[in-house]
Structure 1
């Protein structure tokens, strides 16, 4: 009886070990209950459109146990990797633009926002978030902590938005951000 249990246990461990190893070695993800394309895309630091394109999906509908490609099949040398936050904090977020007099558009870290208006940059208090850190801000996306501001003290951030109208629409809100490095 003991010999049978050991044999069954060993077989099960090998079976599960081999199947999880194969998944980890490849650039795929198996859909689990509660998953969505946006959740998977966020985990792998890719876009929903990339997931849909790489997996030939015409809608956002996915099924449990469906295997999805999480890297560009045409560029296996540059696979997407899950992004893990090293820290999560709640901050008060507002938005800023370059639409004011005497603004150079050059951030504290040297990013030229006039030449790169689509760059995702946030202003931070360097005592709270180190300049140069990569962060994820819900509703804004992945950004670099690349600027400081006179009113940005403590747990406050400013997200750069090139359009005055969109910056006003952003308003002021509390968000839980992820510091990625």
Structure 2
């Protein structure tokens, strides 16, 4: 009888040990080749700003095999909810900007954004290049004539109230031209 109780207690201890370990493992992510903060955030239904805050990141650069926290250690784990589309979020600010277009397939272009998104492998993504001092990287933005996008790139010519929308087709990017539009930046 004592052996049965001892075996049962041991089994329960082992079971709880593994379940706690899997919970702890689920709250972190090990950076893989080709990952970006934006991709990791999207995969785990969180924002780039949350990832940066929880991991004390000052830039968007991440290292291969780096372990990132996927939640705040101070917060009580909340029930995971589906991400709301930007248009359903509560707050936004409107900014008038000059909007041009770019492509990831130009001469001397790598096709990789400053946040690590591979535009050549993901031509259907809606990505805009912004001045991070005005619009933080990872922010959802609504651009009239383009749709909902993520501020996922920054460019040397993108300063102040200027954005560049990513359009994979060179001809269509040229057709976009230069427009002065009012965008919605969600927070």
TM-score tier by shorter-chain length is 0.5 to 0.7
Using a 3 Å threshold, how does the CA distance of structure 1 residues 142 and 95 change in structure 2: closer, same or farther?
A: same
Whether 1:144 aligns to 2:150 is: yes
| Counterpart residue number, 2:139 | 133
- 1:108-135 per-residue CA deviation (whole Å, 9 max, x = no partner) reads 1111101100100000001110011000
Query: Match of 1:167?
Result: 173
Q: Which runs of 5+ in 1 are unaligned?
A: 1-76
TM-score by length of 1: 0.54
Distance 1:145 1:79, change over 3 A: closer
Which one of 77, 100, 106 corresponds to residue 94 of structure 1? 100
4+ aligned runs moved over 6 Å, structure 1: none
Pairwise mapping of residues 117-132 of structure 1 onto structure 2 (< 5 A)? Answer: 117-132=123-138
User: Over aligned residue pairs, what C-alpha RMSD do you find?
Assistant: 1.8
SS at match of 1:142: strand
TM-score, with structure 2 as normaliser:
0.53
**Structure 1: how far apart are the matches of 2:91 and 2:177?**
25
Asked if the contact 1:85–1:178 (Cα under 8 Å) also holds between the matched residues in 2, the reply is no
8 Å Cα contact 2:104-2:112 kept in structure 1? no
Gaps of 5+ in 2: 1-80
2:29 maps to what in 1? Answer: none
Aligned to 1:6: none
Query: Cα distance, 1:102 vs. partner?
Result: 2.4
Q: 1:103: Cα distance to partner? A: 1.5
Question: Quick one: structure 1 residues 123 and 80, their matched pair in 2 at CA, closer, same or farther if it must change by over 3 Å?
Answer: closer
Deviation of 1:101 (Å): 2.0
TM-aligned CA distance change 1:175 to 1:78, over 3 Å:
same
